[in-house]
Amino acid sequence: MRRLDELAQALATGTTTSRSLIEASLAKIADPSGEGVRTFIKVHAEQARAMADAADLLRMHGRASTPYAGIPIALKDLFDIAGEATPAGSTVLTDAPVAKSNAPVVARMLAAGFIPVGRVNMTEFAFSGLGINPHYGTPTSPWDRASKRIPGGSSSGTAVAVADGMAAAGLGTDTGGSCRIPAAFCGIVGYKPTARRVPITGVSPLAPSLDSVGPLAPSVACCAAIDAILAGEAPASPTPARLKGLRLAVPENMVLDGMDDTVAAAFDKALSALSAAGASIETTRFPDFADLPAANAKGGFAAAEGYAWHRHLLATQGSQYDPRIRVRIARGEHMSAADYIDLLNARTRLIASFNRATAAYDGVLMPSVPIIAPRIADLDDERSYNSVNMLILRNTALGNFFDRCAISLPCHHDGEAPVGLMLMGETMGDARLFSIAAAMEAVLA
């Protein structure tokens, strides 16, 4: 994987062209021995080639819109693209009216000169962290491909496209971990911004109270650049923070439960490396975590808000849904208005309490996912599917519920199963989080 700054430099110096980058991406997508057929739901080959030729011509005349003009990216299948339907990883909406305009996040990436090479696969309607899709197939994690392991979801195709070099970076969404989980399982960086910073208009919703749009990319700097563009800000490489003296909290309750040996070993090594670099790693208990099961007992925001959006489709085309997705959405049918108001009030109360609890720290550390990617074949029965799904969503979902920014960094060594280290920052503390993550990335590398 090549970082965005490396690609931008190669384009600027003429050592590569946008057309070359696009052709390389398309070749990897089309490789019959690769994951392209399961990763991409739709490939924009001719459009991408035309855009690449235009980018090269503009750059030749000194008119490139940005340093990133001409770099290939992947778009998760739930973003509106003008003139296309937005299936959201389902077959239910394949004949839906086409989008009249690009989602603002797509428009901003296009304005920055990035070239979408296609729409990538995802969990149907984003309702799972596993990445399994019975309609379009499931792309596999790049590690131990012979065993066919899950890529993580719901931004499964984005993660695999980046990890396999089918795109330089990509956009995902994150409602409970859907950028960070696949990043962890695929060995790349995934970012969840403070949700309010990035518009979600033109993005098929899961739970608007929690939905956010974020990047998946090879590095922290790549994610920071794309995040800035998505937020309408000027991209700049984050200045690494000074680790010496930073106070980083590791929760001792809940987030370390159920860790497998591989994740535990990688997490411990990462903490040791950060401590050796001068960071103060403090184990502490966050009582607010114990209140989350009761707050979400009726199904949480995903069930309530998801059902509100899907109820008419379920009534007319419910048989076309993945049954495992349909039953999760249908939980919202039994939530009352009072249940939903109780949930809103509980979230407000818990956010305020958690803000107080973390005020003394520069960030909160935990494993992004407590287990390595399981085999797809081991998740065939509904009980395994549900239990593993809840486990892998557990840690990342904290960032969404508490309205925080959070990032997943690879913390494994080459040749090992991918493991993600998650750093959670404060609400609207995105710039600070990127600065600390950049310093951590250098140590973990």
HEC letters along 409-430:
EECCCCCCCCCEEEEECCCCCH
DSSP 126-142: G--SS---TTT--PPPS
Interatomic CA distance for residues 258 and 253, integer angstroms: 11
Q: E-assigned strands of 194-330?
A: 213-217, 247-251, 280-284
Give φ, ψ of 190 to 5 degrees: -130, 140
CATH top-level class of 4-230: alpha beta
Interatomic CA distance for residues 141 and 124, integer angstroms: 18
The parts of the chain modelled with pLDDT lower than 70 are: none
Q: Give the relative orientation of helices 220-230 and 430-444 as an angle to the nearest 10 degrees.
A: 160
pLDDT digits (tens, 9 = 90+) for 279-323: 999 999 999 999 999 999 999 999 999 999 999 999 999 999 999
Every domain of the chain and the residues it spans: 4-230, 247-294+333-444
What pLDDT does 94 receive? 87
- Domain 4-230 identical in fold to domain 247-294+333-444: yes
What pLDDT does 46 receive? 98
Interatomic CA distance for residues 272 and 377, integer angstroms: 35
* Geometric angle at alpha carbon 208, from 236 and 197, rounded to 5°: 20
DSSP 188-221: SEEEE--GGGS--TTB--S-TTT--EEEEESSHH
Q: Which CATH architecture has domain 247-294+333-444?
A: Alpha-Beta Complex (3.90)
pLDDT digits (tens, 9 = 90+) for 219-278: 999 999 999 999 999 999 999 999 999 999 999 999 999 999 999 999 999 999 999 999
What pLDDT does 417 receive? 98
How do beta strands 363-367 and 247-251 pair? parallel
Q: Can you give the pTM of this predicted structure?
A: 0.98
Residues marked as catalytic: 76, 154, 178
